[in-house]
Structure formats: structure tokens, C-alpha cells
Amino acid sequence: IENHDQSVGLLYTYANIYPQSATEIQNEFSIKFTTEAPEFAEPQIPTADFVVNRTYGIAPYEATFTNLTSPPYFYNEFNWEFNDGSSVQDERHPVHIFADPGNYDITMNVENTLGSDEITKNDYINVLSTDGLIWPGDTNSNGVVSAEDILQIGVYWRQIGNARTSSSVVWEANDYPGGWDIDVASLADCDGNGEVNIADVLAIGLNWGSTHGSTLSLPPFSNEELEASRSNFEDIYYALGNTGNELLIKNYIAREFDMPIIQPVQINFLQQNYPNPFNPETNISYSILDNGLVELSIYNIKGQLVKNLVRSAQNAGEHNVVWNGKDSAGKKVSSGLYFYKLKVNDKIIDTKKMMLLK
């Protein structure tokens, strides 16, 4: 093996290396290696930078930081400030647990023999409270239920965790139940049964347009994150119907993933109530083709009128009403089978069954 200037360094014959298994060869046939003259980069003052695996999570939130300092010299020294009263030194890629809800500035300082640099990312980590976090249908927690809420369901499709104490899509705040590997995936478990699945999509339709004031600042998904979940969205797309809010959600997916847009069929339509069976209340959705007088009425198995849920002029479009299991006098009705009938401009559109359990 020769040095780069061709002065002799070390010369090995094949036989000297493997005396028991090789045949000795002449020196003139020995193999020689020549190295190039090494090039050394000039040392540089470091430039600090970092990212985190996810900028938001539910308290206590464990965040994993990745150091992107350049150049990545092994002798760089680091100091991290997490803005929660704690810091860490000489750790290149720290893992830190934020115990309390709030927004946190993150500062990293890097230093070597040539100089130092510092970077602060303001409000970089958003740690969410467990209390009243989940509103069924508002999966991105922006304060309103809309077609956009399908994105969280698609990204976290089939994720599992602890079920909520009360499994329901009733429009009310629910606490984080814990036990989810990706904690914020619990926002997509709209019905609280412990799994993100097609029933959670139905909750978006049932609570469509509902609002609340406990909004959070969750960042949108990147194109890469959505594309990685394409097969999930395809499953949802083909599982959804072609009417009502389901169609609106379906076409939202279609626009995001370049899939076929389905044109709505213009008809008067009464949907099956959800949940069914139910206790204490259920949602009834319907669509009307033209403006007109709408009647939605509940009847018992004897054909007796229990309550008129709707009797008013309404505009064409999608509508939803909740029946709380009470009659026209405000009294709770007994468990059993009931019928609900939709009429538009005195024309019967459809009649469906529902079951009240107690």
C-alpha cells in the first residue's frame, strides 16, 4: 500500500497474510493501493436548526427533536431550552415530555471552537388539555363540522385506543380517554368506541354545521401526509353514499385525491335515523328538492301522532333534526318501535322505522 506521493508505506504479499491457505507469489505481482491526497474542509461556525416529530399533542406530550445543525461536527456542543422550566445540554436529538397544556417556545444554542449560533421557534409546541377536547364530528377542532373533517379520519383510519366513557355522537364536549399511540387520533374517533372507522364519518354528517367555541390551532396535513394515506381515503370514498352530506364528503375526498366527482341526484330524500336503536335521542336527516312546506312527524305502532318535529316552510337543501324521545307534551315516550314520515307540500316522500331502547 503506497502513500499518495508514491513513497512506499506498507507492502503485503498474499502469502504473508494467509500463510496457511494461499500460495506465495512474487513481489512484483504484489497488489499495491495508492491513496489520493486528502482534502480537508475549512472549519465553519455552526448554523443552528431543528425540527420535531409533531408540533402538537395532548398533555403529557412526548416530543422527539431532530437536530439539523450544519455542519454536523461531532464536537459541536448544544443547549436546549423548552420554556417549561427545564433545559438539557450536550444532547444532539433530545426527547422531552411537556406535562402541562400551553404553547412553548423552543430555543437551541450550538457552539464550537469557531463560534456559536442560536435559534428560537416561537409557540412551536402546542400541548392540548385533556378536558373537553373532543367534539363528535369536529375532528380538526376548528370549531365547526364540515367536509374538511374527513381528513383526520382518513389519516388516522383504523387507529385504536381507549374508548370514551360514553360512546355517543351527541354534540357535546368529551374528555380525552388516553391510551392512543397517536394521541390526537382520538379526535377522529367521533363516536368514542375506541377505533377510527366508517361510523365516525357518519358523525360528521349528523353534526354537520354544528359549532363550538373551544377551538384549537392544529396545523394542516402536508401533501406528503395525505398521499401516504391515499388508500384509506379510497376505502372511505367507495363506502359513502351518493346523497346528502355523505356525497359532500365523498366529493371533498375526490377533489383532494383526483377521483371521480359524483353529481348529486336531485330528489326529495329521507335518511335513516342515527343512531338506531337509540337512547335518549337520535338524528333524522333529509333533503328537499325545492322550497316548500315540510312536515316531519313521529308516530307510534298504533299510527297515533306522537310529535310533529317539523312543520314549516323550508328552503331546498340538506336538513337535520334531533328527536329527544319526547312527545308533543314534553313527556318521555316508552321504549319500542316508532315511525317517522316526511311530507313535502302535502306529498308523502317516505316513512321509516326507528327503535327507542331504555
How many alpha carbons fall within 13 Å on the CB side of residue 349?
A: 22
Domain range annotation of the chain: 1-39, 50-128, 130-265, 269-356
Task: Report the CATH architecture of 269-356.
Answer: Sandwich (2.60)
Common-topology check for domains 50-128 and 269-356: yes
Q: What is the pLDDT of residues 100-114, one digit of tens each?
A: 999 999 999 999 989
Q: What is the pLDDT of residues 269-311, one digit of tens each?
A: 899 998 899 999 999 999 898 899 999 999 999 999 999 999 9
> What's the pLDDT at 40?
60
Sequence-separated (6 or more) residues with CB below 8 Å from residue 227: none
Mean pLDDT, rounded, of the chain: 89
> What's the pLDDT at 209?
92
The Cα 155–Cα 228 span in angstroms is 8
Residues of the chain whose pLDDT is less than 50?
1-4, 8-23, 25
The Cα 295–Cα 91 span in angstroms is 68
φ, ψ (nearest 5 deg) of residue 14:
-60, -40
Report yes or no: 63 and 52 within 8 Å, Cβ to Cβ: yes
What's this model's pTM, rounded to 2 decimal places? 0.63
> Which residues lie across from 340 on neighbouring strands?
298, 352
Overall fold of domain 50-128: Immunoglobulin-like (2.60.40)
